[in-house]
Structure 1
Amino acid sequence: MWQFFEEATIWHPDVGTRNDLFDTALGLALFPTRNGDGPKDFSAQSPFQNMMKQSLLDKNIVSLKYGRTDEEIGELVLGGLFKNIPREDMIEVPLNHSRSDNSDHIWRYYTMNGWQVSVQSMSMTLNSSNGSIPVLKMPQIAVVASSFPWIGLPNKVAEKIHKAIGIRHVFDWIECDTRAHLPDWTITFGPDGQTITLTPWDYLIETYDKVYKQLKCVSGFWGLQEYGDKGFIILGAPFLNGLHSVFDADRKSISFANRPL
């Protein structure tokens, strides 16, 4: 296999994030990169696109499992499925590329990967009372992005989730021992109303603070400011942490299954 690479001398996935936290990147985009806002367009195909072009894969799919913590090992399968997760045990959500807001370069940037799905609603389920708090009622299109380090939501949605968790804002943290008392986060996908429920062990980012020598559970929910008001949703790494995910270019879908704790 041949593959061209383009060098990024500085890498900041978002404002305020240090580039030393991200040591590598492997392109799994479905579509070619387009970037008309800079002095030079990116031109290298992603490795996944290149493998499909050269017919190197048994199936044009990527199976992905993130490690929930720094100590847990993830898994990437190119052209195949997980050995221990039957496809029929997963929910399969069709891709949705109906939104074509070409006037906004931020939306264009994040939709370059091509992995967009419909989201019907979101809610927080309280374990103590089995009550449910709706946090998103209006259908949206969400970009599933393994390279995005947060869960990007409309501001009001992020605020409702933080209130349900007892966290003030993104980057705020709680004692990890309290996770058993926190609500689950349920996402309903369109068009068939399939759901995935993530626990606090999934959607909170467990990290060890070397300065204060303390284990912290940090919020991964980020209000996207003016872009969130436009209906942006980016389901990044904290969303994928608790899942087995299969990105299928042939069937034009993404399949999800919960991982056991």
Structure 2
Amino acid sequence: MESSACGRLGVGALSWLPWLCLCALLVEPARAAIDPKTLRCLVCRNIVDEFESAISKLNPKKMVEIGNYRLDETGNIHQNKVPLSRSQVHLSDMVDDVCSKMTDYVRVRYKATQKLAVMKMMSDTGGMNPDFSYTDFVTDDDLNKSLEFYCEEIVGENEDQLVEIYAKRPTDELPDGKIKFCDEYLNLCEDWMLPSEEDRNWSPDDEKSRGANPYGFGGMNMPPNNDYEDDEELEEDVGELELKANDKEEL
């Protein structure tokens, strides 16, 4: 089972793969009932994040021709042009890649509130997401496959609307897609489902009073956010964690 879970990790998490697989071997993830509507809301918001991230990487000056050709009064042929980031055809192609990114996410619960979240494993800078320190890793028998399933369901049934929100924006400024798409169009999200400051109200002292959590990332120390030059350095850090975990078991 653990090897299957490791196989689902996205490319962005490969440098952390040995450590994450070690976690899976040493701790048994918590299983808890998950509200499908809440999960759809959270997945939808991550769809928007990934889509906007892809759009932001496009060259804002690149233009593409759209629509039919037309002749002006002098006989010259013209065609309308729009920025690539607002091309309906190109945006549709980009949407098709969004759901593959869901393998980079895991389900967690905030320690302070037990609120469900869908969190990206890696930060934008390349290290482990620091917000994991506020959460416990949770899963059920589908090994997080439902994240990609819900993504495909949402995108498959509503791709045209999602693309239209971004293609028809009047300027290059991105709209608030989470509100327009997830909240207003799909009516998926309510305020209580979304992360808040209260969820992060957790400190090392709280961890000590509760004790090491056998169901989450708090159950063992995370390796430092090193930029490893090779696999050998990473394996050394993972090996140290494994020794510490074995020492705790012997005690």
Please, what TM-score do these two structures have when normalized by structure 2? 0.22
Q: Which has the larger radius of gyration?
A: 2
TM-score (norm 1): 0.22
Structure whose residues are more often helix by fraction: 2
RCO comparison, higher one (Cα < 8 Å, 6+): 2
